[in-house]
Chains A and B, each alone.
Chain A
Amino acid sequence: MPKVTINDRTVEVEKGATLVDAALKVGVQIPHYCYHPRLSVVGQCRMCLVDIWDRGRKMPKLQAACSMKVENDNWVVRTDTPEVQEAQKGMMEFFLINHPLDCPICDQAGECGLQDYSFKHGVAFSRFQFEDKRTYPGRERIPLGSNVILNMNRCIQCTRCVRFTQEISQTAELGFFNRGARAEIGTFPGKPLENHLSTCVVDICPVGALTSTRFRFAERVFYLDKKPSICTGCEVGCNVTMEHRRGKIKRYKPRFNPEVNDYWMCDYGRSTFERYEKLPRLAAVRVRPEATGNGGFYGGWKEALDLVHRRLREANGSSVAILGSAFLTTEEAYLLNKLAGALGTPHRSVPVDLGPTWTIPNLKGGISGQEQAPNRRGAELVGLTPGEVREGGTLLDATALLKGDAAAQADVVIVSDSDFSEAAHNPQVVERLRRAKLLIVFGWCDSPLAKVADIALPVSTHAEKDGTFVNVEWRLQHFGAAFPAPGQTRPLVDVLVDLLARYDASWSKLTTGQVFDRLASEHPAFAGLSWDDIPAVGVTLNVPQARAAVDAATASAVQEI
């Protein structure tokens, strides 16, 4: 592999790597706007100019680091010579002379490339004193599509968005129109920016020219706290940064994971957290007086779990139906399955909604999801699947419970969680489930189902708990709690551990990590994994399907060669 020396530090890079990427390897950030690792190189912002010595001879001009590819060992690069600094100063001046400098009302302020680089490379005063700034009258708030709004005055013509629609989404809605200082970005007549990835252009816009209708004016970005998380929109499991303030999620931004979603995510995924605000929250333990069997319920979690334990003991264990959810973390599903084991019931299932199939492009060609279920695979891997029914009996699985009259045959129906799918909001389904003698619902959401439950127990949203999901490619991915759960709400893992401790004391006070480690020691798919060692990009589980997929990929790669 060729070597290159950047600011006295030598690094080996892959042949053909750009200097911008090579410099990052030695911790040197070369400022750039138009360059993006997944888009074609156009070298037009001219911010990444560097000095290069080729075999000891200085190149006559400064070179754009984004377009210089390291092919051999000949180069010595400096990013801090007076010439480079002067050029950067000049470029920053050029960017800003016609920029409105409306940072106080700009959504990008706080994460803006112009702010960052002018602080680092620019000057504090303007020499553009006597001339009028170029403006694009009437183009300050143009909706490019339903998700993106363009303010042309702020644009620095880097054309990242244009190249994104040409190369990544391959829909080519955006174009670069006009010339020179009047050049502008726009859509073609009658062809708005509507593709399932459209909001990604807002992420890659280095300035505030493109803003998202969803996040516009919602919050100043410098007030946001950030937590790495996983999108719950579908089985792809896009890595996201959950940006939140005061216990409310404000937006999702895609988080780079080359194995899953690369730099992108879909518009639907970005909207999934809105559910947490839109639907009413189940905030307190709620028990119907009839459910106690002795007049009324007074107390909190301890009393509620004692009651659940008592009612389950009274019931016929094998006629308890457990309706899980594909939104459960793997640990929760594991504990729920343990509960089923303690009760001796075969009636365990995970209902799944199908949505439209969307593909997130990545270097491997893309990853598609159709099930609106972030963790069906995880739940099934730890055994939350229907068991054997004794002769003559019927299996009370999701289909039977939701579409048929099976609930009436069950002594107890335990639903986790209250928002397990769209069905939880369907009056007919709620009515069917209500036919059970006892209906216990865990959930974050006071859905119609939770409202009719005998015992409704408030648990965390996925923003408020730790856990793992297994995605469509059998990749185990970890996420953490962004903020504490409100009110009486507790993470489901804590609740189930408490409940299981009433059957077996060894479960007492286990943390999510300890639950995962137990799970990993029991299930071969998770063999060798431990909570503390799950890599940031996730890890592919050792399951036959995943192995088959890897083999198929290798086979096709061999054929291509």
Chain B
Amino acid sequence: MFEPVLTRNVGNPDALTLKGYKKAGGYEALAKAIKMEPDGIIEEVKKSGLRGRGGAGFSAGLKWSFIPKDKKPKYLVCNADESEPGTFKDRLLMEYDPHQLIEGCAICCWAVQANTCYIYIRGEYTKSAEILERALKEAYEGGILGKSMMGSGFELNMYVHRGAGAYICGEETGMLESLEGKRGQPRVKPPFPAVVGAFGAPTVINNVETLCNVPHIITRGADWFKGIGTDERNTGPKLYAISGHVERPGTYEHPIGITFREMLEKAGGMYKGGNLKAFIPGGASAPILPADQIDIKMDFDTVAKAGSMLGSAAVIVMDDTTCMVRSVARLAKFFNHESCGQCTPCREGTNWMELILKRLEHGEGTEADGEKLLSICQHIAGNSLCALGDAAVGPVKSLVERFMPEIEQHVRERRCPFPERRYFGKNVGNGA
């Protein structure tokens, strides 16, 4: 039986207060950390194999080590702009255990010697933001933050910054622009945020879940952390946000690398005993996997090998009543709506893909559309300014590659063969 790590305080309302959190063993890790050398912490995190939980799966320790030692000021920005469709794991962490996040941020700040931390939270998460703000206030009063972090003489200020609801502000440089008060749109890279980030200073950007793992690595050690998971490269506990056609949708904590079948069982199985048709393993931007991949191990490398990505581990399950064309058309609509409009392939390509998919869904497709979609995908993928273009390509490409018969059926029958459920407008227009 796997003992929950990140969610251990869920269901314990006391953990919302500083006193309750401390009683549950909180801030011990921070106390231990400030006795360690900053480089030692980075080494420990590197050794643990903790990979970024936001989507890209980049080694957290490695990211921290890129921060130049000699430059001041430096910043930590915690990415709490959880806006990937299907993802709701960070919200749980922030609403049930805010101090865990604050502790993780504090340790990271000490490790990279950054005196300021921003928690960039999406605007819709008003409850989470209020809880975090309350927790921050307590932490200041309790001497955890402020002029002298836990009496160490290290100044640390932490702020909650609320976004305004744009998906693109979850992209790290888009978030920095938004944080600086500008129009939220990604910057051209290089230079990377580790060199030129918020306000032109070196900046670490980490996901909420990534930072929440840090205190546990410090208290229990890298070797304990490495013991959880499939192999050397996929370690630690992981939150999976499962939704769609399952009996008990929600956020579950599993050791990374649990099979999809096992995960589905723990969520109560398919909704009303339906048949699995497909699932998205990592949020809206991950390519869709067909049902025959049910035994896949849900870790970064195995999912990538299967032609998808673990991403934010937001698992969307679809049974055989789902029209894949309609689902992907809905996703394409999302990406078109959320594209910032800066770079050409994403601005024009996502719009065009949505128009084609809508046309297909309405039974007005042609045989050449599949190939056209693939070619548009090829022109967007890798050529856009930020990762949103690649994200938009994921579901569309997998639709054409893995569910081509369904597209052909739409074209042949000149209608959608699935019962009409939730329709999103007949208007084949601008996608607005």
By a CB distance below 8 angstroms, the chain B residues around A94 are: 344-345, 347-349, 352, 379
User: Given A87-B383, A180-B347, A183-B347, A131–B352 Cβ distance below 8 Å?
Assistant: yes
By a CB distance below 8 angstroms, the chain B residues around A41 are: 188
Q: Contact at B359–A130, with CB atoms within 8 Å?
A: yes
**A72 CB to nearest chain B CB (Å):** 13
Q: Contact at A181–B429, with CB atoms within 8 Å?
A: no
Among A47, A132, A134, A182, contact of B344 (Cβ-Cβ < 8 Å): A47
Q: How far, in whole Å, are A182 and B341 apart by their CA atoms in the complex?
A: 7
Check A91 for interface membership: any CB of B closer than 8 A: yes
Check A157 for interface membership: any CB of B closer than 8 A: yes
Q: How far, in whole Å, are A97 and B378 apart by their CA atoms in the complex?
A: 17
Q: Contact at A128–B383, with CB atoms within 8 Å?
A: no
Check A364 for interface membership: any CB of B closer than 8 A: no
**A41: nearest chain-B partner, CB-CB:** B188
Q: Contact at A44–B343, with CB atoms within 8 Å?
A: yes
**A178 CB to nearest chain B CB (Å):** 7
By a CB distance below 8 angstroms, the chain B residues around A168 are: none
By a CB distance below 8 angstroms, the chain A residues around B343 are: 43-46
Among A90, A128, A159, contact of B345 (Cβ-Cβ < 8 Å): A90
Among B344, B428, B430, contact of A45 (Cβ-Cβ < 8 Å): B344
Q: Contact at A97–B348, with CB atoms within 8 Å?
A: yes
Check A98 for interface membership: any CB of B closer than 8 A: yes
Q: Contact at A183–B341, with CB atoms within 8 Å?
A: yes
Q: How far, in whole Å, are A462 and B251 apart by their CA atoms in the complex?
A: 78
Q: How far, in whole Å, are A60 and B383 apart by their CA atoms in the complex?
A: 11
By a CB distance below 8 angstroms, the chain A residues around B432 are: 182
**A505 CB to nearest chain B CB (Å):** 68
Contact with B along A366-401 (1 / 0, CB 8 A): 000000000000000000000000000000000000
Contact with A along B393-432 (1 / 0, CB 8 A): 0000000000000000000000000000000000011111
Contact with B along A451-472 (1 / 0, CB 8 A): 0000000000000000000000
Q: Contact at A44–B344, with CB atoms within 8 Å?
A: yes
By a CB distance below 8 angstroms, the chain A residues around B168 are: 179
Q: How far, in whole Å, are A67 and B187 apart by their CA atoms in the complex?
A: 11
Q: How far, in whole Å, are A156 and B342 apart by their CA atoms in the complex?
A: 10
Q: Which of B129-175 contact A (CB under 8 A)?
A: 166, 168
Q: How far, in whole Å, are A45 and B383 apart by their CA atoms in the complex?
A: 10
Check A55 for interface membership: any CB of B closer than 8 A: no
Q: How far, in whole Å, are A258 and B355 apart by their CA atoms in the complex?
A: 47
Q: Contact at B379–A180, with CB atoms within 8 Å?
A: no
By a CB distance below 8 angstroms, the chain B residues around A86 are: 378-379
Q: How far, in whole Å, are A159 and B340 apart by their CA atoms in the complex?
A: 13
**B383 CB to nearest chain A CB (Å):** 5
Among A62, A64, A97, A176, contact of B352 (Cβ-Cβ < 8 Å): A97
Check A61 for interface membership: any CB of B closer than 8 A: yes
**B127 CB to nearest chain A CB (Å):** 26
Among A67, A93, A181, contact of B379 (Cβ-Cβ < 8 Å): A93
By a CB distance below 8 angstroms, the chain B residues around A91 are: 344-345, 379, 383
**A272 CB to nearest chain B CB (Å):** 38
User: Given A90-B383, A131-B352, A131-B355, A46–B345 Cβ distance below 8 Å?
Assistant: yes
**A479 CB to nearest chain B CB (Å):** 40
Q: How far, in whole Å, are A44 and B336 apart by their CA atoms in the complex?
A: 17
**B186: nearest chain-A partner, CB-CB:** A44
Which has the most chain B C-beta neighbours within 10 Å: A93, A98, A179?
A: A179
Q: How far, in whole Å, are A182 and B345 apart by their CA atoms in the complex?
A: 14
User: Given A44-B188, A46-B383, A130-B364, A181–B344 Cβ distance below 8 Å?
Assistant: no
Contact with B along A353-372 (1 / 0, CB 8 A): 00000000000000000000
Q: How far, in whole Å, are A302 and B348 apart by their CA atoms in the complex?
A: 69
Q: Contact at B348–A95, with CB atoms within 8 Å?
A: yes
By a CB distance below 8 angstroms, the chain A residues around B359 are: 130-131
Check A6 for interface membership: any CB of B closer than 8 A: no
Check B337 for interface membership: any CB of A closer than 8 A: yes
Q: Contact at A43–B429, with CB atoms within 8 Å?
A: no
Q: Which of B37-78 contact A (CB under 8 A)?
A: none
Q: Contact at B428–A179, with CB atoms within 8 Å?
A: no
Q: Contact at B383–A67, with CB atoms within 8 Å?
A: no
Check A278 for interface membership: any CB of B closer than 8 A: no
Q: Contact at A90–B352, with CB atoms within 8 Å?
A: no
Count class of interface residues, chain B: 35 or more
Contact with B along A36-74 (1 / 0, CB 8 A): 000001111111010000000000111010010000000
By a CB distance below 8 angstroms, the chain B residues around A45 are: 343-344
Among B190, B364, B431, contact of A67 (Cβ-Cβ < 8 Å): B190
Q: Which of A98-142 contact B (CB under 8 A)?
A: 98, 127-128, 130-132, 134
By a CB distance below 8 angstroms, the chain A residues around B189 are: 67
Q: Contact at B382–A180, with CB atoms within 8 Å?
A: no
Check B350 for interface membership: any CB of A closer than 8 A: yes
Q: How far, in whole Å, are A14 and B352 apart by their CA atoms in the complex?
A: 41
User: Given A46-B384, A67-B188, A130-B359, A178–B348 Cβ distance below 8 Å?
Assistant: no
User: Given A45-B344, A95-B344, A131-B359, A181–B351 Cβ distance below 8 Å?
Assistant: yes
By a CB distance below 8 angstroms, the chain A residues around B385 are: 43-44, 46, 64
Q: How far, in whole Å, are A60 and B366 apart by their CA atoms in the complex?
A: 34
Among A44, A67, A87, contact of B342 (Cβ-Cβ < 8 Å): A44
Which has the most chain A C-beta neighbours within 10 Å: B345, B366, B376, B383?
A: B383
By a CB distance below 8 angstroms, the chain B residues around A67 are: 188-190
Q: How far, in whole Å, are A44 and B338 apart by their CA atoms in the complex?
A: 16
Q: How far, in whole Å, are A101 and B431 apart by their CA atoms in the complex?
A: 22
Q: Contact at A134–B345, with CB atoms within 8 Å?
A: no
Q: Contact at A49–B383, with CB atoms within 8 Å?
A: yes
By a CB distance below 8 angstroms, the chain A residues around B347 are: 94, 157, 180-181, 183
Q: Which of B370-394 contact A (CB under 8 A)?
A: 372, 375-376, 378-380, 382-385
**B201 CB to nearest chain A CB (Å):** 18
Across the A-B interface, the 4 shortest Cβ-Cβ residue pairs: A90-B379, A183-B341, A43-B188, A181-B351
4 other contacts beyond A43-B188, A134-B430, with CB at 8 A cut-off? A62-B383, A95-B344, A131-B356, A182-B341
Can you list 22 A-B contacts (CB < 8 A)? A44-B344, A45-B344, A46-B343, A90-B345, A90-B375, A90-B376, A90-B379, A90-B383, A91-B344, A94-B344, A98-B348, A130-B359, A130-B364, A130-B366, A134-B351, A180-B338, A180-B341, A180-B347, A180-B351, A181-B431, A182-B430, A183-B342
